[in-house]
A and B are shown apart, each in its own frame.
Chain A
């Protein structure tokens, strides 16, 4: 789960990380009063889960409160990469002497949290990583023992020479690590970590991604979820416990298992079609899940045909068949449905579908070829 910058800031602030004052606003009036309280020039930043906010015009300077209101009004009406901006963060415009990068990520390869720091911080850190990877220092941390003081110091010495700044940065490393662990994060990032004219070390921007598997037992983190920051179809899918990603094609796909779902999309493309979505109904798929899946897919006006591809293992194909029958009796599906079912209880599934005059195939290639042809004919 991605957090907004203002939420990530709040978590880091709670862990003691020093940063400039600032607050979040939902209206131009709120932005104006925050700017007045802060005083001087402020930065207005769109709060959306999309990269490239600056390039999209979602980050603007404002020299006084009335400019802050104007800029906030502009940004609050924007759509960035399909996502509406509902909130802006208002922070003081910082005077920057040096910019560094500090990131902490759960790494597949070392199977540990890994610190990454670089004195070449700022927006171009990915370019630094690609062109001069030696400028980024990495350090895996054993989570059983946590971050030792000497490790924090070593990381801080990568960034600064002045020992006062080194000590301040080492403390921030420790605070970032604690925030990472305490909030079940898979990523926590300060970019940039700056020094100002007064020599103070401050976090200017923050990013945190929470491990979705933690949410089950951490309702305190779950409340940070911003439904309005997701596409409506994706939010609806999540509430129905479906794994769903909206795509641009016209062949709707309902599949059990992420690997098979991806392979199904690949096959749709192989036969000349374009998938409208990725959708994994998961292992134990009840008829209710199938109904929810069909509702979400049929709400997309671009969908010209729908494919079910179910390989029954734990998933009982008769449950899926019952779901399809129930859904099509509850609401009208205007586009053709092609069903491929094989595995657990398939005879029963074919019988259930046959009872309402529906048929199913047992071969995946045959089903995909057919659904692509039907989508093309309907287009």
Chain B
């Protein structure tokens, strides 16, 4: 068991023939992920690496291969449309790696995704990986992960790798690692992942890695206090970032607070979350709780 991706994952890659898409599709295949189809409009009928059939549309790919998960590598200006296409085809899990999507595009895509009852992870995220079933959807390097019983959810990319690397080197394996992305509008938040890990019998403890800005970590801490019985440890990047650049008055008004590291760490502590002051501390904090 694990969350979101496992041995039952039948993956579709949108943008499989592009520079990023083809590179990471090879990496995913090499890791062991079952890629059943690719989509590149105009290249339907061809194959990728001689084995993966390419289709013109997501609907065609789903009808022919029964794909149940899709990962999107298309360029920023077309990425929100790709998300909508996947949702329209009824794919229950959509992971969007693309960075740089205009926020207005996402603001229009999200109500559509919700109306179809499907889950979006990202955009601007590294995707997810379940080492136990050799299932990788996205760009997290497979070689730093190892199978085990710690679930990890993060807003960052490389900082996630840093923490996972510490875990693996200390023989603490992972059930699933999920990168939810750092954009203002994302499909899956900390609470969605915490709930999934709480319900997952293969996960014993949870690591959450947040950043300054917004209030998602504070809400997540409240959720941990009320609904998570498994041990949770957390990190906030940007503890020493300058207050600096603000978005006029409205940015301060809308959140009612500025989303500083202090607020987030205080919320973590109030919820009984073990606070990591440095990435390396993840190991001792987890050992003390497992």
**Interface set of A (CB-CB < 8 Å, partner B):** 51, 101, 103-109, 111-114, 116, 125-126, 129-130, 133, 136, 138, 142-144, 181, 184, 186-187, 189, 191, 207, 209, 211, 213-214, 216-217, 245, 247, 255-260, 262-263, 265-270, 275, 278, 283, 311-315, 342-344, 364-365
Contact = CB atoms under 8 A, between A and B. Distances in A.
Contacts of B156: 257-260
A184 B159 CA distance: 30
Contacts of A269: 239-240
B278 A211 contact: no
B248 A207 contact: yes
B104 A184 contact: yes
6 contacts: A103-B250, A106-B107, A108-B215, A111-B110, A186-B184, A364-B280
A43 to B, nearest CB: 20
Given A247-B242, A262-B239, A313-B126, 9 more contacts: A103-B248, A112-B107, A186-B247, A209-B247, A217-B77, A256-B158, A258-B211, A263-B237, A311-B161
Nearest to A268: B240
**Shortest 9 CB-CB distances between A and B: which pairs?**
A259-B156, A257-B158, A259-B159, A262-B237, A103-B250, A129-B253, A262-B238, A260-B158, A105-B250
Contacts of A255: 158
Contact of A275 (B77, B100, B240, B277): B240
Nearest to B213: A108
A342 B161 CA distance: 10
A267 B99 CA distance: 27
B264 interface: no
A186 B105 CA distance: 12
Interface string B221-264: 00000000000000101111110111111111111100000000
Interface string B124-157: 0010000000000001110010000000001111
Contacts of A283: 99, 157
A51 B184 CA distance: 23
Contacts of A126: 249, 252-253
A125 B215 CA distance: 21
Nearest to B179: A259
A106 B184 contact: yes
A258 B76 contact: no
Contacts of A191: 249
A129 B252 CA distance: 8
A256 B245 CA distance: 21
Nearest to B154: A259
B237 A211 contact: no
A136 B256 CA distance: 11
A266 B275 CA distance: 14
B103 interface: yes
Contacts of B242: 245, 247
Interface centre among A214, A259, A262, A315 (most CB of B within 10 A): A259
B91 interface: no
Contacts of A107: 254
Contacts of A216: 76-77, 100
Nearest to A271: B278
A257 B157 contact: yes
A213 B76 contact: yes
A209 B248 CA distance: 8
A143 B254 contact: no
Contacts of A311: 158, 161-162, 165
B121 to A, nearest CB: 15
Nearest to B19: A284
A126 B254 CA distance: 10
